[in-house]
């Protein structure tokens, strides 16, 4: 789960005058841009490293707007039981004033630019970014540098934000998908830092001190673990100069060489249930250990998930949907919704299916979800894989619609891989996937493996764990 915090306005209607290169080509008489043309015409992502280890990456698209931000290799996985939630707390403190600007002055600066300032925290990453007019890039970088390096962290603001964080924790408890996925991580990675939720427990929100936040900053906000990323109407050389001006002073040293090293996070096949028969629907997630973000197995698993697909009761198509599980869910009314997912981390992952159903169909959905997995290991066809590959490509391209998702993609890729993986490279990796590859890779991760299960709601009918575990073997036959 990733938290998000925002401040400021969105960019005004004057941007409606500007058109993307694709729209301009249409106006010039070109009827459409093919998928291959869009890959070939994708702008280059440029990457430069400063002397202190900070990396500067950008993609210039020529738009009148841009998104610029800092992506940091820090999140709840870097926290202990004692300070779990510190990163999320800091995210709330970031926009409450700096040593140079009060909260009011900071908000006025953002508003006067017609900009949008935001942040999010996940298990392995933290990001602070701003979307603004391209001409305001220098001011945006200056404000971001203040937010990250010079947050005031006053005692009064810490106490004020403590109440805000506690209210947000209460609100998240009402989002049962988030609750279910946090429980899944808690049982799948029990005893390891990946079991920590991003928001942390309410007890920590009440006890974290200003000194805890300062120590978290000094331990993790180091130049080599940061990427200044930008996309849109940006000039790379200008961005590098701005980075040198505002981030050259970022520390790259650790006290006593105490460099944080991530401990391996073992996966444990297990289950956790929060039974509440008063709830109308059950929320259930089942997952096996997936591939790490850098594993070559990620793409075949992504194709497999695209084949299984997703479903919502409000969708059209019914029994004619291409996903077998979706067609069955629609025809037999097995669930309200389901979605296949794959969460990748630096050294491990979770591949699973999350579904929402009434108490009478939990067993049916568990059976057919596992059956869908077994089909990936045994009977997946050429047409299944072709469909999954097209769906995956459409998703990857669709996720990069705008400067903000592109900027986020660049930041996360540089942290994860050391460089940006282009759409053309993703396309080549996807094209290399065959039915045999899907069967072999899915067998490696799914067949006869111990799953992790999390369930919330009226879950009396949820099968016994040993029965669920044995199905990972017997459903193959």
Looking at residues 210-226, what average pLDDT do you find? Answer: 92
The CATH number given to whatever domain includes residue 324 is 3.30.830.10
450 found inside a domain: yes
The candidate with the shortest Cα–Cα distance to 119, out of 139, 89, 149, is: 89
For residues 88 and 148, membership in a common domain is answered with yes
Looking at residues 47-70, what average pLDDT do you find? Answer: 95
For residues 139 and 16, membership in a common domain is answered with yes
CA distances from 463 to 95, 321, 365, 468, 470 (A): 47, 28, 11, 6, 11
pLDDT tens figures, 227-238: 999 999 999 999
Alpha-carbon span 462 to 180, nearest angstrom:
14
For residues 47 and 83, membership in a common domain is answered with yes
For residues 211 and 340, membership in a common domain is answered with no
Helices (H), ranges, 62-175? 86-93, 103-112, 137-149, 155-172
For residues 106 and 173, membership in a common domain is answered with yes
- Are 117 and 10 in contact, with CB atoms under 8 Å apart? no
For residues 222 and 319, membership in a common domain is answered with no
Looking at residues 360-380, what average pLDDT do you find? Answer: 95
For residues 219 and 278, membership in a common domain is answered with no
pLDDT tens figures, 452-472: 999 999 999 999 999 999 988
440 found inside a domain: yes
The candidate with the shortest Cα–Cα distance to 95, out of 52, 130, 49, is: 130
410 found inside a domain: yes
CA distances from 320 to 27, 327, 331, 372 (A): 37, 6, 9, 17
pLDDT of residue 28: 43
Looking at residues 277-301, what average pLDDT do you find? Answer: 97
Residue where one domain finishes, among candidates 254, 288, 322? 254
- Are 68 and 229 in contact, with CB atoms under 8 Å apart? yes
Mean per-residue pLDDT over the chain, rounded: 89
The candidate with the shortest Cα–Cα distance to 215, out of 415, 364, 74, is: 74
Question: Looking up tokens 């869009």, which residue turns up?
Answer: 38
Looking at residues 1-24, what average pLDDT do you find? Answer: 43
The strands making up 116-121's β-sheet, listed across from edge to edge, are 3-8, 116-121, 126-133, 65-72, 226-232, 55-60, 45-49
For residues 275 and 250, membership in a common domain is answered with no
Report the domain count for the chain.
2
261 found inside a domain: no
Looking at residues 420-442, what average pLDDT do you find? Answer: 96
Distance, CA of 128 to chain centre: 14
Alpha-carbon span 141 to 70, nearest angstrom:
9
The angle formed by the CA atoms of residues 3, 10 and 145, to the nearest 5 degrees, is 65
For residues 231 and 295, membership in a common domain is answered with no
413 found inside a domain: yes
DSSP 258: -
Residue where one domain finishes, among candidates 223, 254, 285? 254
**pTM beyond 0.85:** yes
Residue where one domain finishes, among candidates 254, 281, 301? 254
467 found inside a domain: yes
For residues 300 and 232, membership in a common domain is answered with no
For residues 85 and 168, membership in a common domain is answered with yes
Residue 107 is part of which domain span? 3-254
**Which of 69-78, 247-256, 363-372 has the lowest average pLDDT?**
247-256
**Helix (H) / strand (E) containing 368:** helix 362-378
- Are 307 and 380 in contact, with CB atoms under 8 Å apart? yes
Q: Please tell me the number of Cα atoms within 13 Å of 282 on its side-chain side.
A: 26
54 found inside a domain: yes
pLDDT tens figures, 390-408: 999 999 988 888 999 999 9
pLDDT of residue 256: 60
Alpha-carbon span 381 to 387, nearest angstrom:
10
**Catalytic center residues:** 91
pLDDT tens figures, 67-78: 999 999 999 999
- Higher per-residue confidence, 42 vs 325: 325
260 found inside a domain: no
For residues 227 and 311, membership in a common domain is answered with no
pLDDT of residue 39: 80
């Amino acid at each position: 789960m990733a938290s998000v915090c925002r401040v400021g306005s969105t960019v005004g209607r004057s941007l409606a005058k500007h058109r993307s290169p694709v729209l301009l080509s249409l106006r010039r008489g070109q009827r459409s841009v093919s998928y291959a043309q869009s890959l070939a015409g994708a702008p280059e992502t440029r990457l430069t490293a400063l002397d202190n280890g900070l990396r500067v990456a950008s993609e210039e698209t020529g738009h009148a707007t841009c998104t610029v931000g800092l992506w940091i290799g820090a999140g709840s996985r870097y926290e202990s039981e004692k300070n779990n939630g510190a990163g999320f707390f800091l995210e709330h403190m970031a926009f409450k004033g700096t040593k140079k600007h009060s909260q009011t002055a900071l908000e006025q600066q953002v508003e006067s630019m017609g900009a949008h300032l935001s942040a999010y925290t996940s298990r392995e990453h933290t990001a602070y970014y701003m979307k603004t007019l391209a001409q305001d890039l220098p001011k945006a970088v200056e404000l971001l540098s203040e937010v990250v390096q010079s947050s005031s962290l006053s005692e009064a603001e810490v106490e004020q934000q403590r109440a805000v964080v506690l209210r947000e924790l209460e609100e998240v408890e009402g989002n049962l998908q988030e609750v279910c996925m946090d429980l899944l991580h808690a049982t799948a990675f029990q005893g390891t830092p990946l079991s920590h939720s991003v928001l942390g427990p309410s007890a920590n929100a009440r006890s974290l001190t200003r000194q805890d936040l300062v120590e978290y900053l000094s331990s993790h906000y180091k130049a080599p673990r940061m990427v200044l990323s930008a996309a849109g109407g940006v000039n790379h050389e200008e961005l590098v100069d701005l980075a040198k001006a505002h981030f050259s002073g970022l520390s790259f040293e650790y006290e006593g060489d105490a460099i944080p090293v991530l401990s391996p996070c073992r996966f444990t096949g297990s289950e956790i249930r929060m039974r509440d028969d008063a709830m109308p629907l059950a929320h259930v997630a089942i997952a096996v250990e997936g591939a790490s973000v850098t594993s070559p197995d990620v793409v075949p698993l992504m194709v497999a998930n695209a084949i299984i697909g997703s479903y919502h009761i409000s969708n059209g198509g019914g029994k004619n949907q291409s996903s077998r599980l979706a067609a069955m869910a629609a025809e037999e009314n097995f669930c309200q919704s389901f979605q296949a997912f794959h969460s990748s981390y630096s050294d491990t992952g979770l591949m699973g299916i999350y579904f929402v159903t009434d108490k009478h169909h939990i067993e049916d959905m568990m059976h057919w979800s596992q059956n869908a997995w077994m089909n990936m290991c045994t009977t997946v066809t050429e047409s299944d894989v072709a469909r999954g590959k097209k769906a995956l490509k459409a998703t990857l391209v669709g996720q990069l619609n705008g400067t903000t998702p592109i900027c986020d993609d660049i930041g996360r890729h540089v942290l994860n891989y050391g460089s940006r993986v282009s759409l053309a490279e993703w396309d080549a990796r996807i094209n290399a996937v065959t039915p045999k590859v899907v069967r072999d890779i899915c067998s490696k991760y799914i067949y006869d493996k111990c799953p992790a299960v999390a369930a919330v709601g009226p879950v009396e009918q949820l099968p016994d764990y040993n029965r669920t575990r044995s199905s990972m073997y017997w459903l193959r036959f």
